Amino acid sequence: MIVSRRHGFVFMHNPKVAGSSVRATLEPWRDPDVDLFETDPDPASPLHRVDRAHIGIAEFARHYPALWAEVRGLAFFVLYRDPFARFLSSVNEYCRVYGETDIRFAAQSERRKVFLDLVARLRELGSAEAVMEILELTHFRPQWIYLTPPEGVDLDLRAFDLKEMSGFAEALSDCIGAPVDFGRENGSEQFDLPLPMRRILANNSIKKQLRKLPGAMWAMQQLRQRSAGTSQSGARLSVQERYGLTEAEHREVETFVQGFYARDLGVISGLAQAAHPVEA
């Protein structure tokens, strides 16, 4: 999340919608006294912390009322994305950061098990709103919390579909008074390594221990580069190819995601029918 009172805007970080790359690009224009990144202690929260990097608009107003009072009249920029595409990206991020298996290095059979087990866990929760207090599932948060102002608040909300990055960049450039280039969206990595190395790099617990050794990070980077020219590394694998799903399983997962993000679909549908930027 970026707050720039100097340039009259706030950027809301919607997880897995180019948020990290946009935040990094906008960092030079961030007000230095406001660093909404990582977490803050909050004894009243079930998590005992606030994931301030990914807070929604209403959470921002609730947890940081003094700052909210200063910025609520500014332009609030946010990107949104097709829920299924975002869900797949969230799976990748969860497995890279929080899961036991880094699916970028795992064999298809391992990727399939991890994917279906995670879907089953989320299915038990029922809806995206249920992940709000589970830090390791922060990238599965619903998108509507970044697209909906608090009740009764007239907010200058400028929401752009991820496919409209050029319009998003142009609007922010107008605010800043300087050209802003966000580059291209990162693709999903899939590395193809010899079996012993694959087993090591797919195991996040082992990697955490290896990182403590001198030179280990350099060695892992060399292994990643070694796989850069393989058939999988540059390929845009379909969901079925990546996770070994049948067509029926793929449809079932799509149906689950539609239900899990039902409120998102309604909000995004309304945005898609309106002109951009959207003022709420």
* pLDDT tens digits, one per residue of 138-189: 999 999 999 999 988 999 999 999 999 999 999 999 999 999 988 755 555 5
Under DSSP, the state recorded for 149 is P
- Please report which confidence band the pLDDT of residue 98 belongs to, taking 50, 70 and 90 as the band edges: confident
Write out the two tokens for 7: 């340039």
Write out the two tokens for 65: 């009322």
Whether cis (ω within 30° of 0) applies to the bond prior to 277 is: yes
Is the pTM for the entire model greater than 0.75? yes
Kindly state whether residue 220 falls inside one of the protein's structural domains. no
- pLDDT value at 43 more than 50: no
- Please report which confidence band the pLDDT of residue 74 belongs to, taking 50, 70 and 90 as the band edges: very high
Whether cis (ω within 30° of 0) applies to the bond prior to 83 is: no
Domain count, the chain: 1
Kindly state whether residue 212 falls inside one of the protein's structural domains. no
Mean pLDDT taken over the chain:
83
Kindly state whether residue 41 falls inside one of the protein's structural domains. yes
Kindly state whether residue 132 falls inside one of the protein's structural domains. yes
Can you name the residues that pair with 159 across neighbouring β-strands?
78
Kindly state whether residue 210 falls inside one of the protein's structural domains. no
Distances (CA, A) of 239 to 8, 246, 254: 40, 10, 10
**Which of 21-25, 37-41, 214-218, 249-253 is predicted most confidently?**
249-253
Average pLDDT for residues 116-140, to the nearest whole number?
A: 95
Kindly state whether residue 127 falls inside one of the protein's structural domains. yes
- pLDDT value at 69 more than 60: yes
Residue 241 is part of which domain span?
Answer: 2-190+235-272
**Which of 70-79, 176-185, 195-204 is predicted most confidently?**
70-79
Kindly state whether residue 140 falls inside one of the protein's structural domains. yes
Write out the two tokens for 85: 């595409």
pLDDT > 70: percent of the chain:
73
Single-letter code of the amino acid located at 218: W
Kindly state whether residue 249 falls inside one of the protein's structural domains. yes
User: In this predicted structure, what is the pLDDT of residue 203?
Assistant: 57
Write out the two tokens for 242: 């990546």
- List Cβ neighbours of 166 (8 Å cut-off, separation of 6 or more): none
